[in-house]
């Protein structure tokens, strides 16, 4: 078959005016048809497609040495798993090294100059995070990540949840925005409800929201952007309904997939809590943040050092708590990680969050369009209107884990599994999917390599089957 195609290509090149016929088979009837070729076939659309901002990855890739390494198979690395964790630029790794070599000390606790230096860096990082989401500094709590942040809110709001009250989530959520509320609902004899998918399976059916909201609803928890479907939830439509139909409800927004890709203004969003992880926005692992509009209303999450005002050893005398954010940062915080996350945010702002949003959005749509043309591939989520750089997919006749493993041999790193979204996959009729996710350091050429290798991999896997 390969020889035949090569010979045909030779004929077309050397005899461009030749008119001849090729046998083609109709996929439905399998009867022979004939098409007339009077000229060389046109160039595929994607070969001549040019991005609006092709210089962005070229400019930033020198900041990411890992992107210039080879994979385990010695093929050039094509990293398409940034929705799981992003790569880290040199300025972030340098910041971490500098902190440990020049400023390492515990914060808030020492009168010596090194402790004061570490404290200044740590609190300066809080200012940077606040600026990143257009918040006030005392509204930012450092945590170990978004999962920690969500659990913090769940535990701190437990006393406001009574028997019969309701928490509303969606089937599209990451497990970290379901399981803490499930545990809480069981403890408080409350009800955890879910907004289902729309009939077309392209997103949450928000038209059902009026039937799910009531005065019993005390918390609404949702993703800003899906880590599987690649769609952004319409907050401008959702929040007015929540505020009018569930006036006692608080809204928690999981911004793990949106914070790395677009500018955020927490007050303009209109939510009560927002969480994000540093490792998805070019920062270190082990750190994230919680933003809260009225943190002073909440009791502590954990007890220990730094979160107190006074502690007494007298029976019957209760400890008193420090004001936020210290109230929620018991023990030694992730100091170096917070400093590194702040440096990552400064790096992203230096590029421009609007520029990152536009570039990743366009490259994501390009990848989505190319994926739709791969035979036997079903892309999960809507066919149009995708803003993020995420494409989750299933392949006819090939398990996602096998697809990922064979692509890894070719140097292409993608995700395989349920992506911590089992309810969503069940609603779509699958147990697992594969996922390719982009960031601003990815190129159009990498997407083309991925699609080419995917097509080859599917041919191989189907032949083996």
Summarize pLDDT for 354-392 with one digit per residue, the tens: 999 999 999 999 999 999 999 999 999 887 656 679 999
Q: Higher pLDDT residue, 154 or 19?
A: 154
Averaged pLDDT, 165-172: 98
> pLDDT tier at 465 (50, 70, 90 boundaries)?
confident
- Position 394 scores a pLDDT of 97
Averaged pLDDT, 268-289: 98
Residues of the chain with pLDDT > 70, as a percent, come to 90
The CA-atom distances, in angstroms, between 401 and each of 88, 108, 435 are: 26, 47, 11
Give the Cα separation of 439 and 364 in Å (integer): 9
The answer to whether the CB of 112 falls within 8 A of the CB of 105 is yes
The CA-atom distances, in angstroms, between 362 and each of 53, 82, 358 are: 9, 16, 6
- Position 386 scores a pLDDT of 65
**Model pLDDT for residues 4-17, shown as the tens digit of each residue:** 333 223 322 333 33
- Position 20 scores a pLDDT of 25
- Global pTM? 0.89
The token pair at 334 is: 């992730």
Active site residues: 420
Residue 422 predicted with pLDDT over 50 = yes
Averaged pLDDT, 269-297: 97
> pLDDT tier at 110 (50, 70, 90 boundaries)?
confident
The answer to whether the CB of 218 falls within 8 A of the CB of 193 is no
- Position 41 scores a pLDDT of 62
- Position 314 scores a pLDDT of 86
Give the Cα separation of 400 and 406 in Å (integer): 10
Averaged pLDDT, 188-216: 96
Residues of the chain with pLDDT > 90, as a percent, come to 81
* Lowest-pLDDT choice from 23-27, 153-157, 185-189, 368-372: 23-27
Q: Higher pLDDT residue, 289 or 313?
A: 289
Q: Which domains are delineated in the chain? A: 1-41 (no CATH), 46-88+353-464 (3.90.1150.10), 103-351 (3.40.640.10)
- Position 10 scores a pLDDT of 30
- Position 15 scores a pLDDT of 33
Residue 463 predicted with pLDDT over 60 = yes
């Amino acid at each position: 078959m390969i020889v035949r195609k090569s010979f045909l290509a030779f004929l077309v090149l050397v005899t461009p005016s030749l008119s001849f016929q090729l046998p083609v088979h109709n996929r439905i009837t399998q009867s022979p048809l004939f098409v007339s070729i009077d000229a060389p076939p046109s160039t595929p659309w994607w070969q001549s497609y040019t991005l609006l901002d092709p210089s962005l990855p070229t400019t930033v890739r020198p900041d990411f040495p890992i992107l210039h390494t080879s994979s385990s198979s010695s093929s050039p690395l094509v990293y398409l798993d940034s929705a799981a964790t992003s790569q880290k630029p040199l300025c972030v790794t340098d910041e971490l090294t500098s902190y440990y070599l020049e400023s390492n000390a515990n914060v808030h606790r020492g009168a010596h100059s090194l402790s004061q230096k570490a404290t200044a860096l740590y609190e300066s990082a809080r200012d940077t995070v606040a600026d990143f989401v257009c918040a006030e500094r005392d509204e930012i709590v450092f945590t170990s990540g978004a999962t920690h942040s969500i659990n913090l809110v769940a535990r701190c709001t437990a006393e406001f949840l009574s028997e019969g009250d309701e928490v509303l989530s969606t089937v599209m959520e990451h497990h970290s925005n379901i399981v803490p509320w499930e545990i809480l609902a069981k403890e408080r004899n409350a009800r955890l409800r879910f907004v289902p998918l729309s009939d077309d399976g392209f997103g949450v059916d928000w038209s059902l929201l009026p039937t799910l909201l009531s005065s019993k609803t005390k918390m609404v928890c949702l993703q800003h952007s899906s880590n599987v479907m690649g769609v952004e939830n319409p907050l401008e439509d959702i929040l007015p309904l929540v505020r009018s139909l569930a006036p006692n409800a608080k809204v928690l927004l999981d911004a793990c997939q949106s914070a790395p890709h677009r500018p955020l203004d927490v007050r303009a969003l209109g939510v009560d809590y927002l969480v994000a992880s540093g490792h998805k926005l070019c920062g270190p692992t082990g750190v994230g943040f919680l933003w809260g509009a009225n943190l002073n209303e909440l009791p502590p999450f954990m007890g220990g050092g730094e979160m107190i005002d006074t502690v007494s050893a007298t029976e019957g005398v209760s400890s008193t708590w420090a004001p936020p954010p210290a109230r929620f940062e018991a023990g030694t915080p992730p100091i170096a990680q917070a400093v590194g996350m702040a440096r990552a945010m400064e790096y992203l702002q230096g590029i421009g969050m609007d520029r990152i949003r536009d570039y990743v959005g366009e490259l994501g749509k390009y990848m989505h369009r190319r994926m739709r043309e791969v035979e036997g591939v079903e892309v999960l989520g809507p066919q149009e209107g995708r803003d993020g750089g995420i494409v989750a997919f299933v392949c006819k006749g090939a398990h996602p884990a096998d697809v990922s493993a064979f692509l890894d041999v070719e140097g292409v790193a993608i995700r395989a599994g349920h992506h911590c979204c089992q309810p969503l996959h069940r609603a779509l009729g699958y147990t697992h999917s594969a996922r390719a996710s982009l960031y601003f350091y990815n190129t159009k050429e990498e997407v083309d390599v991925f699609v080419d290798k995917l097509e080859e991999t599917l041919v191989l896997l189907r032949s083996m089957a």
